A = this chain, B = another copy of it.
């Protein structure tokens, strides 16, 4: 149903980005990059949740030096995020970083740009150009066009700097804190270039609002076939960003990680603690590595039928409940035994 736009493919430390590769899930550490142990610990947690590439802020020489050990020990490829200072970029490439996020337009003199790009080329180190709504190039700020067009011009200026140096290992992001701006900017960009696009809403906010804004913006774009890698920005623990990314990809049937949970809203028909039960079901089976759908339904009358597309499910009754499989009730047990019985039924089905 979704026809994806085919972009040029990059290789980020062995992870394919763009072309026909799966849409890559990435996130960013919020540790101090100089603190190698804490950073590696957070990377491992994120990787366990399915993060495939991770970005680290490199603010100074010590952070650039720390990249060396982090790259060696990290289970997933590393991208250094650098602003302005070309020496940090060079140091990160020398230390084996798998990609850079840096805007060549912000590096300064042409000779500095050339040094970075030459070294990146020699090491096959891709560069992501990152244009945010709040950091449009100054020369376009007062032009008589939309913010999205100003962002596009800023991206094109940075692309041209790299292309003029015969460098094409390019990925691009255009992130707005406004959803419609983010959608429009990426549509414009996707129509005008074939480099892989990194999608995200910047400053999306705390968990609930951030999930909604990111899901709406990325949902619209991914549904239109736009986007090769996604990063969900949340003012939260970064593992939430990784979970959210899979949740969006799963919603659009683009990628699947673990169990798909469905549960009905509670209503006047519900006679068990459905909210509590649905949370327990998620908590018990969230690490189960099977591509199945588990439903938690409030009533035995409508539940199994309504959820006949689910592989397994629980339907609540009064002090008891039913286990169903593909719409058919297979067990009836007291409420306290529902979770264990469901686990048993699932286990028996995959013996």
Contact = CB atoms under 8 A, between A and B. Distances in A.
A166 interface: no
A305 interface: yes
Interface in A1-29: 1-2, 28-29
A216 B248 contact: yes
A243 B183 CA distance: 23
Interface of chain A, helix or strand or loop or mixed? mixed
B266 A63 contact: no
B269 A235 contact: no
Nearest to A254: B180
Contact of A282 (B63, B135, B206): B206
Nearest to A148: B1
Interface residues of A, number: 81
A184 to B, nearest CB: 7
A180 B31 CA distance: 37
A329 interface: no
A8 B266 CA distance: 31
A120 interface: no
A251 B216 contact: yes
Interface string A121-163: 0000000000011110000000000000000000000000000
A265 B57 contact: no
Contact of A235 (B296, B302, B307): B296
Contact of A268 (B2, B33, B244, B278): B33
Interface of A: 1-2, 28-33, 56-59, 63, 81, 132-135, 177-180, 183-184, 202-209, 211-213, 215-220, 223, 233-238, 241, 243-244, 247-248, 251-253, 261-270, 274-275, 278-279, 282, 295-297, 302, 305-310
